[in-house]
Chain A
Amino acid sequence: MIKNKELLIGIKDALPIVLGYLPLGFAFGVLANQVGMTVVQAGLMSLMCFTGAGQYIAIGVMQAGGAIFTIIMANLLVNLRYLLFATSMVPHLKNVPTGWATLLSYGLTDETYAVAMTRYQNHKATTAYMAGLNITSHIGWISSSLGGALLGTFISNTDKIGLNFALPAMYICLLVFVVGKRSDALVAGISATFCLLFGYIFPSTMANMSNIIIATIIAATLGVLIDERY
């Protein structure tokens, strides 16, 4: 069955993501535990929110004794970039029924987005692939959070085994994959430069990741202009 094959490919494509989530989810579990969340609450948050940066912000604000409102507003900002991600994915989802596509977009993250967009360059999107990729990644996120919340006191340092480099390595590799033509490389470079520039001038944009949104908008616009010329 083609469906099963697509599901399996999705699961397989999610495995490197799960590897990258392992230390991040684990660390979230440990920190959540330290600010007084129970194992169930930490797991529930990873199940219902699935936002690495956002969950870390929540912990930080809780630790500082901040308000729920602050946490939610900061999360709104952090997650705004997904408006852009989701919209740019829509043209690829023609073959996926809208209901399924919407439901499975629950699992849209920086990582699943990058992996999926790489695949959609040469393959049609299917419901089964989306399910395999997004749900496996989400399960990885939830279980590593639970693991951290449960075992946090025993294991302290995942840096020793290099796992902290899993996500950067993945971003590097996916960047190589999505750069097809010269204008893509230019856009990536322009975006990276603006990201750093905004992060340097306004350090607060680093924490809520709004520098990525601004840099992306500028770089994509310049990309269109560059592409028209050549």
Chain B
Amino acid sequence: MSDTSIFLMIFGVSVVSLLPRMLPVAVLSRWEFPQLLQKWLSFVAPAVLGGLAVLSILAPQGYIHISPGNLYIWACIPTFLVAIKTRSLFYTLLVGIITMALLYNFAGI
């Protein structure tokens, strides 16, 4: 791609990636959400995180990979336990990263 095409591409991607984030905040902030919709929206965060968490572990390379050879599955067990026990993002990340490093270097799967 030429430099001009690359800049055009970056500009186009910028528009379509920023509009969905900023537009609802700009347009809806004065609107009083009906109760039922508020309840529905309150479930969006757990739903999104459920999806992201499961995909990041069972499909770490972008395709579903459920087998004992998937190190992410093993690493998620201590990570999950630490998250419940400590409720600390810092310790969860620490344990997750160290577990993964150990598995990657020594598990030899």
The contact of A58 among B9, B30, B84, by CB within 8 Å, is B9
| A85 and B44 within 8 A (CB) | yes
- The residue on B at minimum CB distance from A211 is B51
CB distance from B47 to the nearest CB of A (A): 4
B87–chain A nearest beta-carbon distance, Å: 7
CB distance from B22 to the nearest CB of A (A): 5
Residues of A within 8 A of B88 (CB): 173
Query: Which residues 26-56 in B have Cβ within 8 Å of A in the complex?
Result: 26, 28-31, 33, 36, 38-56
| Total of A-B residue pairs, C-beta within 8 Å | 281
Q: Tell me whether B93 and A19 are in contact (CB under 8 A).
A: yes
Q: Which residues of B contact A117 (CB under 8 A)?
A: 45
Within the assembled complex, what's the spacing in Å between the Cα atoms of A72 and B6? 12
Docked-complex contact A165 and B59, CB < 8 angstroms: no
Whether the Cβ atoms of B63 and A105 lie closer than 8 Å is: no
| Size category, B interface | 35 or more
**Cβ contact within 8 Å between A80 and B20:** yes
A54 near B44 with CB under 8 A, answer no
Inter-chain contact A170/B93, CB cutoff 8 Å: yes
Q: How far is the CA of A43 from the CA of B60 in the complex (A)?
A: 25
Q: Given the interface contacts A169-B79, A224-B36, does A215 sit within 8 Å of B51 by beta carbon?
A: yes
CB distance from A10 to the nearest CB of B (A): 14
Residues of A within 8 A of B92 (CB): 169-170, 172-173
Q: Which of A190-230 contact B (CB under 8 A)?
A: 190-192, 194-196, 199-200, 203, 206-207, 211-212, 215-216, 219-221, 223-224, 227
Q: Are A62 and B1 in contact (CB under 8 A)?
A: yes
A49 to B15, CA, bound (A): 8
A98 and B99 within 8 A (CB): no
29 contacts between A and B (CB under 8 A): A16-B89, A19-B93, A36-B1, A41-B3, A48-B13, A62-B9, A71-B12, A79-B16, A79-B21, A83-B20, A88-B44, A90-B24, A102-B29, A105-B21, A106-B21, A106-B22, A169-B96, A170-B93, A171-B56, A172-B92, A173-B88, A183-B43, A184-B43, A188-B50, A190-B50, A195-B51, A219-B43, A223-B43, A224-B36
Point out residues on B near A: beta carbons under 8 Å.
1, 3, 5-14, 16-18, 20-26, 28-31, 33, 36, 38-60, 62-64, 72, 75-76, 79-80, 83-84, 87-90, 92-93, 95-102, 104-105
List the 9 closest A-B pairs by CB distance, nearest first: A169-B96, A188-B50, A162-B101, A165-B100, A162-B100, A223-B43, A192-B54, A191-B47, A220-B43
